[in-house]
Structures are given as structure tokens and as C-alpha cells.
Structure 1
């Protein structure tokens, strides 16, 4: 019996392109000089949460498309995007923007939201009766987020 590719497997390269485009767009958008920023009616922290939830979504879906295990994709997404958030915040002063550790915490929260939402969706779609796995996954995601938050303080 041959394994049927999932929709994510078939879309892995477009997902990778979308992730790269999101990452480049986020970097460019966060490095626009302070005086050139358009007035958007969302709080700064909300924009960080939404932006990193989108990046986290793109990363999780891309890694799932390439067949990366749930534990590894959670770890890679959390660590790589948290490191990207640190680099992003620390390079903004070169472009007339501020560097704020609370912005980074908002980034980590957005990453946590994306990871939790998508991994719950994957767990629910693959095995509805696998409750212990979902509990471990949630605890692992929460522990990763707490470690990242503690490292930033």
C-alpha cells in the first residue's frame, strides 16, 4: 500500500516560498525608519503578536510539509523565530527604531499562539483519541515558551 501525500506535503515548496516571503517582509517592515511608519490603529504589542503568529504559522506549516516530526518542528519554530526576534529587535536602532524587550516577549507570545493552535489542529486531525500526546505537546510548548521568556528577562 502506497502512502498518499498530504496537502501539506504537496504544497511544501510553495509553503517554503511563502515563509521566506513572510520573513523578508517582516524584516523589511520592522526596519523602516521610525518617521516613515504609517499610522496603524493597532498597538505595537498587538502587531508583534500578530506578525510572529503569522511567521510561526508559516514555519509550522512548512516544516510539517517537509515531514518534520511534531516535537522537532515545535522546537525549531520556537527557537529559530525567538532568535530571529532578538536579532530583529537589536538591529532596529540602526534604522531609527527602538529596541524593546517587551516587543520580544510579544513576539514569543505570537510564536506560542501559532505553535499551540497548529499542533492542536494536527493532533486533532490525526488521532482524536490520542489525548496523552496532546497533553505532552501542550506542556512541551508551554515549557519552551517559558524558557524563552525567562531567557529574555
Structure 2
């Protein structure tokens, strides 16, 4: 091993990365299903669902970034941009595909999704040291 080579990945870190990826995929599927259950008139939540959109996309963004970084190593600006762009496009797709199940396609919901993705990236950056402490990985390790 050369001095510049990253240390080998441990079995523990590989298990954590696998669980993080699985959690992101399961959460994505639940989020999709939750936004595509047909709405049958009044009786839904009495609060503005904008907070639910914001929080849902913030958490999805965090889970995707954690799973990706634990899998491939330190993420760069292009990775963050790819996650942001995918979240923005998926948010629009998510809103548009609610029409066939008698739900509302709402630009305000999409704006909350985009804000959730954006703030999710910021929150991830702020909490990265905690993620590394929990996984036992140093900030510069792969």
C-alpha cells in the first residue's frame, strides 16, 4: 500500500454502507407510495402538507448522500449537484404523476420538495462529522 492509497474498507463499514443504501431505497419507495395513494375527498391532513413535502425530501436527500458517501468515499461538488438535480426532477415527476390517482399536482408542493432537497444537502454537510464518528470512519478515509 502506498502512502497516498486509502486504507482498505472494513467489513463493518461495508455493512453500514449497505444498510444506508437499503434504507434510502426503502424510504424512497415509501415516499413514492405515500404520495400516490388516491385521495378521496376531504378528511386528509388538516395541516399544510408543504412541511411534509419539505421534510420528506430533506430526509430522502440525507439518506441518499449518506448511502452514497459511505459506499464510494468522499463526495465532490458534482455528486451534490447530481443529487440536487435528481431531487428537483423527481419532485416534478412525483407531482405530475399524482394526477392519474386523483391527487393534486401543486407547484407549491414541488417548491417545498426543491427546498427540502436543497436544505437536505446543507444539513448533510453539517452532520457529516457525526456520520463519520458513528461509522468509525475518519473524514478523509474511504
Q: TM-score range by the shorter chain?
A: 0.7 to 0.9
Which of 117, 126, 132 is 2:123 aligned to?
117
Task: Give the distance between the partners of 1:95 and 1:57, measured in 2 at CA.
Answer: 28
Which of 53, 69, 81 is 1:64 aligned to?
69
Segments ≥4 residues shifted beyond 6 Å: none
Query: Given the alignment of the two structures, is residue 104 of structure 1 paired with residue 107 of structure 2, yes or no?
Result: no
Deviations 1:23-43 (A, max 9, x none): 111111001111288644542
CA RMSD of aligned residues (A): 2.6
Higher Cα Rg: structure 1 or 2? 2
Deviations 1:84-143 (A, max 9, x none): 11110001010000001111110011111110011133379748xxxxxxxxxxxxxxxx
Alignment TM-score, normalising by the size of structure 2: 0.76
Unaligned runs of 5+ in 1: 128-153
Which structure is richer in relative contact order (CA contacts within 8 A, separation 6 or more)? Answer: 2
Choose between structure 1 and 2: higher helix proportion: 1
Task: Give the distance between the partners of 1:100 and 1:35, measured in 2 at CA.
Answer: 17
